[in-house]
Amino acid sequence: MQDFVLLIIFELVLHTMNYSLLLGNINMTVFGIVILLWLYLLYVLKRTKLNAFFFIVGSIGLFLIILTFKDFFIQSSIKSVLYTMKSLSFFFKGYSISMSRDFVSFYDSKVKITYEYTGVIEIISLESLLCFFPIYTVLEKIIIGFYSCILIFIATILRLLLIIYLSRYLSETIIQLIICRLLFYVFIVVVFYEVFTRPQIIRWH
């Protein structure tokens, strides 16, 4: 359950932070000191075998550290989604791509590709949790992290294609609420369950 609690915390952090000021207002000296303190705290928690706190502090800390470089990850993920959608446009007709403005246009509507359409935050959350998850070996973490990223990215592409298809039949509000939010989050919960919760249940039994 703690992985789901941390996922909720990550989402709350994401939606309450002022991202435009996140990196610009951080003094790099202070940032370095904070990282050193975080590493020292992890060392203490590891030495005292407080595994639950080690997992929580480590995951949240790594998530926040990566998030300070969010512009790079978000822009890279947006371009990846746009290039993939542009490649698929040869096979799936009915939409066009505006690479300069980050838009996917279809029929009478258009969607601006933001971080919410890339799965980047979910990927960062998963990798942060996985890095400190005690059950897997280092090699298992690398393999599971790699395939989980691919699955989440594929899910974001399928979600956009489904939005394009359903836009001919449903209102934009229904599509945004059900397709963009509910179905995608259900998929993320399933991924997190398979990666974190299910292995623990198997281990307990």
- Mention every residue, 6+ apart, whose C-beta is less than 8 A from residue 110: 103, 104
Residue 145 has pLDDT above 90, yes or no: yes
Span between the terminal Cα atoms of the chain, in Å: 16
pTM score = 0.79
Total of domains in the chain:
1
Which tokens go with 123? 């990927």
Residue 143: domain span: 2-204
Question: Do 202 and 139 touch, CB atoms closer than 8 A?
Answer: no
CA dist., res. 56 & res. 34, Å (int):
17
Q: What is the pLDDT of residues 16-72, one digit of tens each?
A: 444 443 444 556 777 788 888 999 999 998 899 888 889 888 998 998 888 888 778
pLDDT digits over 95-124, tens only?
Answer: 666 655 666 766 566 777 777 778 888 899
Per the document, the length of the chain is 205
- Residue 83 has which token pair? 């290039």
Q: Residues 24, 69: contact at Cβ < 8 Å?
A: no
Structure token pair of residue 6: 């941390």
CA–CA gap between residue 178 and residue 186 (Å, rounded): 11
